[in-house]
C-alpha cells in the first residue's frame, strides 16, 4: 500500500480549476517530485495535503487513514511535515525556538505544569532539545542556533525551515521548492540532504521543484503537472523526454 494516495482530487477556485481529477501515489521510502510550469497547481496539491484547502471531490489517504477527516493542525500528528515556497518561519524567534516549535506535536505537559515549570516540563524540554540538536548537526546550523530569524540570510532560512520540518519527526516530508533562490553550492547541499533524509532517516520525500538538475539527481519518480492535471509520470529521464511535457514547457514545434 502506498504511503500517500491521492485519488481523483479536484479543486476549483471560482471558475479556475486548480487541480483537475488528479491521482498520484507516493510509495514509502521514495523521493517523488512534482514539476510543471507556474500556475500548474503544484503548491495547491501541497495545500490539499496540508488540509488548507478542501477538495471538491476525490480522496486523500495517508498511511491507510483518510486525511480528509483531519483538521489542518492534526496533519502534523500523522507524521506529515512541510516547508513553504516563500519561507514561513517565526521571524521574531531564534533558530532554536523555531526548531523546537517543530517538536510541538510531541509535547505531553499541561498548561498548569508549564506555568509552574514542573520537573516533567524540564525533562521534556531537554529531550526535545536533544532531537533538535541532532537536526542542527545534520544541517550544520550550529553557528545560527541563537540567532533571530529576522536577521538571517535567505539561504540559511531555507535550511532552518527544512530543519523545523525534520524536527517534527515526520514520515513524509513535503518540500515546496527547496532549491528556489539558493546558490549553486546551496542547491548542491540541499541535494545531499534530501538524499540523506531518504537514506539515513528513512523519510519519504514529496517535493515540488523547478530545478531539473536537482529533480533528476534525487528523485525516483517525477510527475509533470499542467493546468492542474497529470501530464506525465515516470522516472526523471522518461518525463523529460515526454513529448507532452516538452510541449507544455516549450510549445509545439520548438525542437
Partner 1 sequence: MRVLFKTSYNDDIRLFPDRWTLAVYAALLALAVLLPVLLDEFYIGEVTNVLIWAIAGLGLMLLTGQTGQVSLGHAAFLAIGCYTNTILIEAGLPFIVAFPLAGVITGVVGAIIAIPALRLHGIYLAIATIALSILADDIIVLLDPWTGGVSGKFPAVITIFGLEIERWTMPVRFYYLVLVVTMICTLFYRNLLRAPLGRAFAAVRDSEISATAMGVHIARTKVKAFGLSCMITGWAGALMGYYAGAFNNETFSLVISITLLMMIVIGGLGSIHGAFFGAVVVAFLPQVLSIAKGAMIGGSVAIPGLETGVFGLILILFILFEPMGLYGRWLKIRTWFELFPFARKDMFRRQKSYLKTERLR
Q: What does the binding site for partner 1 look like in residue numbers (CB under 8 A)?
A: 50, 52, 71-77, 81-82, 84-93, 96-97, 100-105, 107, 109, 111, 114-117, 121-122, 124-126, 129-130, 133, 150-154, 157, 164, 168
Helix extents (H) in the chain? 42-49, 75-78, 95-101, 111-115, 119-139, 154-167, 184-199, 212-218, 236-241, 243-250
Question: Between 145 and 199, whose beta carbon lies closer to partner 1?
Answer: 145
Query: b/e per residue, 199-222, with b = 16+ CB within 10 A?
Result: eeeebbbbbbbebeebbbbbbebb
Please state the closest distance from residue 107 (CB atom) to partner 1, in A.
Answer: 4
Instruction: Choose among 209, 202, 102, 78: nearest CA to 160.
Output: 102
Question: Which is nearer to partner 1, 144 or 222 (by Cβ)?
Answer: 144
Residues 6 or more apart whose CB falls under 8 angstroms from that of 188 comprise none
The CB-of-210 to partner 1 minimum distance in angstroms stands at 16
Phi/psi class of residue 83: alpha, beta or left (left: φ > 0; alpha: ψ in -120 to 50)? beta
**Alpha-carbon distance 69 to 240, whole Å?**
36
Which of residues 133 and 220 has its CB atom nearest to partner 1 in the complex?
133
Smallest distance from partner 1 to CB 169, Å: 11
Give ∠ CA 40-46-50 in degrees, rounded to 5. Answer: 150
Give least dist CB 130 to partner 1, A.
7
Minimum CB distance to partner 1 smaller for 52 or for 192: 52
Query: Rounded to whole angstroms, how far apart are CA atoms 54 and 70?
Result: 11
**Of 81 and 179, which has the nearer Cβ to partner 1?**
81
User: Least distance to partner 1 from the beta carbon of 201, Å?
Assistant: 18
Q: Is the sign of the CA dihedral 33, 34, 37, 38 positive or negative?
A: negative
**92 or 253: CB nearest partner 1:** 92
What are the phi and psi torsion angles at 124 (to 5°)? -65, -40
- Nearer to partner 1 by Cβ, of 139 and 152: the residue is 152
Min separation Cβ 82 and partner 1, Å: 5
**Local structure of 210: helix, strand or coil:** coil
Taking a C-beta distance cutoff of 8 angstroms, is the pair 3, 15 a contact? no
CB of 23 to partner 1, least distance (A): 24
* Grid cell of 121 as nine digits: 516540563
Amino acid at each position: 500500500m502506498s504511503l500517500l494516495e491521492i485519488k481523483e482530487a479536484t479543486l476549483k477556485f471560482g471558475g479556475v480549476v486548480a487541480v483537475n481529477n488528479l491521482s498520484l501515489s507516493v510509495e514509502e521510502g521514495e523521493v517523488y517530485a512534482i514539476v510543471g510550469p507556474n500556475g500548474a497547481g503544484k503548491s495547491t496539491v501541497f495545500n490539499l495535503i496540508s488540509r488548507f484547502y478542501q477538495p471538491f471531490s476525490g480522496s486523500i489517504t495517508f498511511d491507510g487513514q483518510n486525511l480528509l477527516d483531519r483538521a489542518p493542525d492534526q496533519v502534523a500528528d500523522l507524521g506529515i511535515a512541510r516547508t513553504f515556497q516563500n519561507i514561513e518561519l517565526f521571524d521574531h524567534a531564534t533558530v532554536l525556538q523555531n526548531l523546537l516549535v517543530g517538536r510541538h506535536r510531541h509535547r505531553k505537559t499541561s498548561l498548569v505544569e508549564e506555568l509552574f515549570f514542573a520537573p516533567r516540563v524540564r525533562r521534556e524540554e531537554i529531550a526535545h532539545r536533544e532531537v533538535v540538536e541532532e537536526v542542527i548537526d545534520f544541517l550544520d546550523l550550529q553557528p545560527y542556533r541563537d540567532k533571530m530569524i529576522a536577521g538571517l540570510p535567505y539561504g540559511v532560512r531555507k535550511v532552518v525551515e527544512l530543519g523545523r520540518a525534520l524536527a517534527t519527526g515526520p514520515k513524509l516530508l513535503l518540500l515546496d521548492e527547496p532549491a528556489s533562490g539558493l546558490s549553486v553550492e546551496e542547491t548542491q547541499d540541499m541535494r545531499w540532504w534530501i538524499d540523506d533524509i531518504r537514506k539515513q532517516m528513512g523519510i519519504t520525500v514529496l517535493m515540488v521543484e523547478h530545478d531539473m538538475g536537482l529533480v533528476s539527481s534525487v528523485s525516483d519518480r517525477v510527475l509533470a503537472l499542467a493546468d492542474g492535471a497529470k501530464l506525465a509520470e515516470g522516472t526523471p529521464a522518461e518525463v523529460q523526454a515526454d513529448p507532452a511535457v516538452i510541449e507544455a514547457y516549450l510549445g509545439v514545434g520548438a525542437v
